[in-house]
Amino acid sequence: MVRLTTVVLAGIFAAGAAFAADPVEGVWKTSPDDNGHYGQIEVKPCGAAFCGTLVRAFDQTGAEVESPNIGKQIIWDMVAEGDGFYDGGMIWSPDRDKTYKSKMTLTGDGLAVEGCVLFVCRDGGAWARVK
- Mean pLDDT calculated for residue range 28-57: 96
pLDDT, position 111: 96
What does the pLDDT look like over 59-99, one tens digit per residue? Answer: 999 999 999 999 999 999 999 999 999 999 999 999 889 99
pLDDT, position 120: 83
**Contact call for residues 30 and 130 (beta carbons, < 8 A):** no
Give the C-alpha separation, 43 to 85, whole Å: 15
Give the C-alpha separation, 77 to 96, whole Å: 20
Is residue 34 in some structural domain? yes
pLDDT, position 11: 43
pLDDT at 101 over 90: yes
What does the pLDDT look like over 14-27, one tens digit per residue? Answer: 334 444 679 999 99
Give the C-alpha separation, 122 to 131, whole Å: 26
**Contact call for residues 71 and 53 (beta carbons, < 8 A):** yes
pTM for the whole thing? 0.81
pLDDT at 105 over 50: yes
Is residue 9 in some structural domain? no
Is residue 50 in some structural domain? yes
pLDDT, position 20: 62
Is residue 11 in some structural domain? no
Helix (H, G, I), strand (E, B) or coil at 18: helix
Is residue 18 in some structural domain? no
Residue 84's H or E segment, with its range, is none
Which range marks the domain in which residue 98 is found?
23-129
Total domains, the chain = 1
